[in-house]
Every structure is written in structure tokens, then in C-alpha cells.
Amino acid sequence: MNVECSLDRAREAVDRCLTLAKLSEEDNRTTRTFLSPPMREAQRLIRGWMEGAGLTVTIDAVGNVRGVVPGSRSGAAPLLIGSHIDTVPGAGPFDGVLGVMLAIGLVEALDGETPEFGIEVVAFSEEEGVRFHIPFLGSRALIGTLDRDTLQVQDDRGITMAQAIRDFGLNPDRLDEAQVRSSVLGYVEFHIEQGPILDNLRMPVGVVEGIVGQTRLEAVFRGTTNHAGTTPMHLRRDAMPAASEWILEVERQASAVPGIVATVGSITAVPGAVNVIPGEVRATLDVRHADDLRRATAVHRLIAHARAIAERRKLEFDWNTRLDQHAIRCDPALTDALARSVELSGLPVHRMVSGAGHDAMVMASRMPVAMLFIRSPEGISHHSAESVRIEDVAAALRSGSHFLKQISGTLQLSDSLTARHDDAVRHVREDSGIDNAGQ
């Protein structure tokens, strides 16, 4: 793919992202959650773009849009390329979505030429965890870890996941059919960096070598609801000061441990009235680190501190884990091929670790994965000001095109890649001291 062609396709990919950004549950900002009404229109547009590129398209039981182009070599394992199309509230237009548009663009750039291996483009219906407070629903369905118990989780309106699937016109009883059952060459994801590193280095793309592990949980402080005007201070069992004290401790402890990031992103007081002492406060916690053992240790310390605060203030404390995802290393062979593809595009190679979670970290439990980051100007993401540069998107397309050619020429043996992948997973678990099988 030459520079001029890649620029044209980059503009088209960006235009498609901007079109999808208009499909929202809210006026004046982009919010598109799992199986919401705007998701249906997004599926329709993406299906049309996929079919226009020559892909055969289906929608699975959780709403993933999947387009397939077969390979010319009989028995060759396919390569999966994709990302997600749901958003956080008030999102920018490129998080997740750009990766899907680039995948479609790479198939379009084949210009009808059939690759030796098949390609499956996947637009995951859910990654952010907004509606049901559980992320990676789309990719978990593909690898077979979205179980029946999870389908009974309720959203904030009391609708179960299974019912939401039915209401959308899909069948949760066919969930097993969403799984990838044959051997695959691997999974590749193109994604904006969502951070400032590439922008500070003035580099258009970066090759991801690994993704940090993350824990998400909900902490609950329970005291006694009472009148704000008639209850003396020394007789109160107020849940809000306890939660506030703990939130400051989260910041203090995370700041003291190199590599750890911890965030309390949401807090809810019950009953939430100005003249009522909160009898219950719920707070979310997000903890991330590249080392699973250090992450687990930090989480245990924060929970112990919350218990101590509650006990001292004569409150009850409880917590539940929403996600415990181990750190992953991207497949060395696919990553080296991606780095070489960046070089062939005439660009410098920067290898990096992702601090954000991605579908690739879920897919890595089943297959080799690789990721390419595209620069985020000023490091802005999860915000309407999120942007990309056309020339950076074009660089990613050229790198992706070289990558597909390299795969066809040198990495046809999926069994060899799978063996390398299994070794990488084993080393991650040995290094961390944690057996994450089944998470």
C-alpha cells in the first residue's frame, strides 16, 4: 500500500469513526453501551462496510459483528483482526472503533486478492463494562469464558444480561456458537494509545509488547441512615466519611508503589439526599500493574485498610470483585513481525506496554496476540476531545498491510505460533507466582 493510497483509506476510516460517533444514547455526546438502541444502527453500518469489502458477515449471540474472507490455502488457520464498538459515557470517536475500521480497510486494500490464510474481522459489541459493570463481554464470548452465571447479572435497571440479549433479538441459548472452535493464527488489534507516550516521542505508532493486569471491584461501607439535622455528630454511623478516608488512602498507597495505578472512578451514596446521613456508600476501585503479584498485594492491602476504617468507625464493610485479569505478554513472533512491518513502512519502532485494558488481553488466553498503537494527540482518550492524525492512521494501515504479507510469507504454521503462545502464558504465570487459569 503506497503512501497516497494509505492516506485515502485513512481518511475513509476516520470518516467512518465520526459517523459512528453520532450514534449515541445521549444528545451532544457519544455514549453507546452494550446492546443499546444505537448499537443496532452501528451494527447495520459496519455490516454494510464489511460486505462492501467482500466479507461474509454474521452477528453472534452477544452482538459481535463478524466478517470472514476465506484463504486460498486449504486448511490454513485464519487471522483475527478486531476491536470494540461500544463506548464509555461521553466518549471520543476513536477508542476501539478505529481498530475495527482499520481492519476493514486492510481487507479493502487487498483489492479482491485472496490471502493464503483466512481473515476474520471482529467488531466486539462490548469491552468497556459500562452497562453490566463487567467488561470484555464480546471477547469473552469468543474464547468461551462468558458463562451462564454471568448472563444473570443485572444492569442498573434490573434487566439481566440474558434478557437484554433477547430484547435485542438475539438468543442467549446460542452463546456457545460464538466461540472460536478451530485453531487460529492469532489475533491482532489496532488501537489508539489512550496515553501521551507516543505523542511525547513524536512517533505515529508503537508496538505493544504486553498489557498490564487489572483488578476491578466494588467496595461497600454500611452504617445507619438518619436525619442530618437531629443526629449529633458523636452518635452517627456515617458511611461517607469512611469511604472518603479510604479513597485518600487509595491515592496514598498507589503513589508509594512504583508502577501501580489505582482509581476510585465512581461513588454512590444511599439514599443520596442533602439532608440525610448516608447509610451506605458504594465505591469502585480499579488497580493496575504489569506484575500480577504486586497488583494482588496492593489490592489486598487496600481491602484490609477499608476493613480497618469500617471497624474503627463501627460500620460494616463488604466488597465484590468485578474483574481480575492477569497481565499478558504479546506473542513474540507476531510482535516481531509487527515491528518489522513498521520498519518496512519507513517508520521508527517503539516497543511499549499498554496501561489500558484491551480485548487482546482476553484473547491471549486462547491464542497468540499482537497490538499496534496509534498516537493519541495530547494523550486524550475517553473524552470527546479524543483525536487522531490522518498521517498516523495511514502509517498504521501501511504497517498492517506489510504485516499481512509477512504472515503469508513466513508465519503460516499456526501450530508453531500456538506453542510459542503457550510458553509465553506459562512464563507469565510462573513470573507472577499466580495461577490465573480460568480467569
Alpha helices in 85-129 (DSSP H): 97-108
CA 149 to chain centre: 21
Contact 381, 92 (CB under 8 A): yes
Q: Quick one: cell of 99?
A: 481498530
The residue among 324, 343, 372 that closes a domain is 324
If you count DSSP H runs as helices and E runs as strands, how many of each does the chain have, helices first?
A: 12, 16
The CATH number assigned to the domain holding 297 equals 3.30.70.360
Phi/psi-derived region of residue 99, left when phi > 0, alpha when psi is between -120 and 50, beta in every other case: alpha
Range(s) of the domain holding residue 314: 213-324
What whole-number distance in Å separates Cα of residue 323 and Cα of residue 306? 19
Specify whether 219 is located in the same domain as 202. Answer: no
Q: Provide the residue type at 57 as one letter.
A: V
- Confirm whether 162 is domain-assigned: yes
Specify whether 35 is located in the same domain as 167. Answer: yes
Specify whether 7 is located in the same domain as 67. Answer: yes
H/E element holding 120? strand 119-124
Asked if residue 315 has pLDDT above 50, the reply is yes
Question: What are the tens digits of pLDDT across the range 193-221?
Answer: 999 999 999 999 999 999 999 999 999 99
Question: What are the tens digits of pLDDT across the range 18-42?
Answer: 999 999 999 999 999 999 999 999 9
State residue 434's pLDDT score: 33
Question: What are the tens digits of pLDDT across the range 263-294?
Answer: 999 999 999 999 999 999 999 999 999 999 99
Specify whether 310 is located in the same domain as 335. Answer: no
**CA 308, 312, 315, 316 torsion-angle sign:** positive
Residue 403, beta-bridge partner list: none
- Confirm whether 174 is domain-assigned: yes
Specify whether 14 is located in the same domain as 146. Answer: yes
Phi/psi-derived region of residue 326, left when phi > 0, alpha when psi is between -120 and 50, beta in every other case: beta
- Confirm whether 95 is domain-assigned: yes
- Confirm whether 439 is domain-assigned: no
Contact 190, 102 (CB under 8 A): yes
Specify whether 270 is located in the same domain as 358. Answer: no
Specify whether 347 is located in the same domain as 421. Answer: yes
The residue among 324, 346, 374 that closes a domain is 324
Asked if residue 438 has pLDDT above 60, the reply is no
Q: What is the 3-state secondary structure (H, E, C) of 27-64?
A: CCEECCCCCCHHHHHHHHHHHHHHHHCCCEEEECCCCC
Give strand ranges (E) for 143-272.
Answer: 186-192, 205-211, 213-222, 226-227, 261-263, 267-270
Q: Quick one: cell of 334?
A: 507476531
Cell 493486569 belongs to 213
- Confirm whether 344 is domain-assigned: yes
- Confirm whether 437 is domain-assigned: no
- Confirm whether 288 is domain-assigned: yes
**pTM greater than 0.85:** no
Q: What is the dihedral of CA 57, 58, 59, 64, to 10 degrees?
A: -60
Neighbours of 150 (CB within 10 A): 17
Specify whether 207 is located in the same domain as 217. Answer: no
Specify whether 129 is located in the same domain as 47. Answer: yes
Using alpha carbons, list the distances in angstroms from residue 52 to 41, 94, 262.
Answer: 17, 21, 43
Rg (CA), the chain: 23
State residue 433's pLDDT score: 38
Specify whether 205 is located in the same domain as 268. Answer: no
Question: What are the tens digits of pLDDT across the range 117-149?
Answer: 999 999 999 999 999 999 999 999 999 999 889
The CATH number assigned to the domain holding 122 equals 3.40.630.10
What whole-number distance in Å separates Cα of residue 227 and Cα of residue 277? 6
The one-character DSSP state at 122 is E
Structural domains counted in the chain: 2
Q: Quick one: cell of 317?
A: 464493610
Specify whether 298 is located in the same domain as 397. Answer: no
What whole-number distance in Å separates Cα of residue 218 and Cα of residue 306? 12
Specify whether 128 is located in the same domain as 250. Answer: no
* Average pLDDT along the chain: 92
- Confirm whether 81 is domain-assigned: yes
What whole-number distance in Å separates Cα of residue 109 and Cα of residue 191? 19
The residue among 324, 346, 365 that closes a domain is 324
